[in-house]
Amino acid sequence: MVTAEAITRSVQTFWAAGFSASATVYPGQQADTSALEEWVELWIESWEEAVRRDASPHIVRVNVTVHCFSRSATAATRVQELADAARDVLARQTIVIRDYDESGTPVLGHVRLREAEMHDMTRPQGAEHRGVLRHAVVAINGRAESLAEAI
């Protein structure tokens, strides 16, 4: 069985290698975004074990969510470009789960991600905020399986 920590670290490592469109903020990381024109937040959430029979493989359902933010006054579509870049990196991917406690070499299993859903969450901001903060969400469901149990 793969751990939540191994899944999280493997997805974050895969993301860091494939996404260079903007700065990434990870859960628990404190970042002052007031000076940034754009950034993304990567969340790996919802650790739910799938209902199974005793002889069935152990599967963990995983939700990966990327929140994309842009304050660009000149490019109203920039947040969509960030969302498209995030989707291109993660949608329909199989990500190797590695044991980073053991140097990152042993393969523990795989995360298989499905199609991405994109939502525009932009809403009007008050005058105290600097311009319009555009917000798009890319949500991807998937499942994680340990190598011994992978289908």
> CA-to-CA distance for 119 and 67, rounded, in angstroms?
10
Residue 77 counted as domain residue: yes
Categorize the per-residue pLDDT at 150 as very low, low, confident or very high, splitting at 50, 70 and 90: very low
Neighbour count for residue 108 (Cβ, 10 Å): 21
Render pLDDT for 93-135 as a digit per residue (tens, 0 to 9). 999 999 888 776 789 899 999 999 999 998 766 555 556 889 9
CA 40 to chain centre: 9
pLDDT single digits (tens) 14-55: 999 999 989 999 988 998 988 899 999 999 986 767 666 666
pLDDT digits (tens, 9 = 90+) for 126-140: 555 556 889 999 999
Rounded-to-integer distance, Cα 25 and Cα 63, Å: 17
Q: What residue ranges in the chain does DSSP mark as E strands?
A: 24-25, 38-49, 59-70, 94-98, 107-120, 134-146
For residue 10, the domain's CATH number is 3.30.2000.30
* Phi, psi at 15, each rounded to 5°: -60, -50
What is the number of structural domains in the chain?
1
- One-letter identity of residue 137: V
Q: What is the pLDDT of residues 58-89, one digit of tens each?
A: 788 999 999 999 988 777 889 999 999 999 99
Which domain range does residue 76 map to? 4-27+37-149
